[in-house]
Amino acid sequence: MLRDAWTYQPHGSSRKVPVKPSWSPEPTSNPPYLQRPQNKPPGHSEESPVPVRNLCLQADKTVLIVYAHQSPKSFNCAAKDAAVQVFTDLGCKVIVSDLYAMKFQAVGTADDIKGKLKNPEHFLYNEETMVAWKEGRLSDDIKEEHHKLEQADLVIFQFPLYWFSVPAIMKGWIDRVLTQGFAFSLQNLYDNGMFKNKKAMLSFTTGGMESMYLPDGINGDINVLLWPLQNGVLRFCGFQVLAPQIFWSIAHTSPDARAALLEAWKTRLQGLLNEKPLSFAHTELFDLNFQGGFRLRADVKEECASKPYGLTTAHHLGKPLPPNNQTKPE
């Protein structure tokens, strides 16, 4: 039965058993350092598998949550609130940009620039905003978001998947806040990116089931779908990209399963800042000049020739995609 265009509900009612989240900690035996903290942070569960030293490392950090959902009753809101609660309990500073509540301007226009334009005849958004950033002439809302980003050690983007991507209001945040000069430049990209000391991740809900986003699913491989946001936006600006948190087909998940998913998310959040980031091709593997066309070096290609998989989801080199390259760290 098709419930709506985005979701497919298999025969029968909503799922009864908790589904495994896209990320979930594998059960392990406790290593010696895995002891309960003397001064447990409030809200920290007795069963938490997060090492004590990791909790301490997180206490002085700042977390920015860029959040896009219209309703405080939504699952996205619950996922955002869980992150606020966990990081606050850990002693972190938490900043939320609640884009719909802020009525965040989603469209980049000349209004983003105070004062005279350099070339009003042929308005080029990236060039004008770069100059305005250098001269402190960007609009106040962009400056405010820049200030939040400067403080952040971790940025979490919380949203419902819209058209295989972020909702327009969040795309507007990306377009307007990741200003050229401030967030990237030709010299400061990828491994050398402006935000190389920061972490970022996507946390999102979908209408479609997980199986629809498998390599043989009707929507195609989720790893391919994640590449533009995770590589094209986050890693492009230098962020260390953490594995995404995906809440599959959340509206068609039973209340118990949703509660279990939120608990698993809270457990993950406690150790999030210590997680290994996803793997991308290192910048040094490319000829970083216009003559070389910024392509993979010949010796690297030669080395890759004998490997069964491509380097990453998009640096596939005509080979099979490395499985889970955009959903799990190596």
Ligand X SMILES: Cc1cc2nc3c(=O)[nH]c(=O)nc-3n(C[C@H](O)[C@H](O)[C@H](O)COP(=O)(O)OP(=O)(O)OC[C@H]3O[C@@H](n4cnc5c(N)ncnc54)[C@H](O)[C@@H]3O)c2cc1C
- Interface with ligand X (CB under 6 A): 6, 69, 73-76, 78, 160-164, 205-208, 250-251, 255, 258-259, 262
Of 155, 145, 50, the residue nearest 99 (C-alpha): 145
Nearest CB to ligand X, comparing residues 101 and 259: 259
Q: Please state, as a whole number, how many other Cβ atoms lie within 10 Å of the Cβ of residue 222.
A: 26
Q: Please state, as a whole number, how many other Cβ atoms lie within 10 Å of the Cβ of residue 12.
A: 8
Containing 65, the helix (H) or strand (E) segment is strand 62-67
* 132-151 burial: b if 16+ Cβ within 10 Å, else e: bbeeebbbebbbebbebbee
Nearest CB to ligand X, comparing residues 141 and 210: 210
Nearest CB to ligand X, comparing residues 144 and 263: 263
Q: How far is the CB of 65 from ligand X (least distance, A)?
A: 15
Q: How far is the CB of 77 from ligand X (least distance, A)?
A: 7
- Find all residues with CB under 8 Å of 198, minimum gap 6, and list them: 152, 153, 154, 155, 238, 239, 240
Q: How far is the CB of 74 from ligand X (least distance, A)?
A: 3
Nearest CB to ligand X, comparing residues 238 and 244: 244
Q: How far is the CB of 70 from ligand X (least distance, A)?
A: 8
Nearest CB to ligand X, comparing residues 58 and 97: 97
Q: Copy the structure tokens of residue 314.
A: 């998009």
Which residue sits closest to ligand X, CB atoms considered?
A: 207
Q: How far is the CB of 209 from ligand X (least distance, A)?
A: 8
- Find all residues with CB under 8 Å of 228, minimum gap 6, and list them: 165
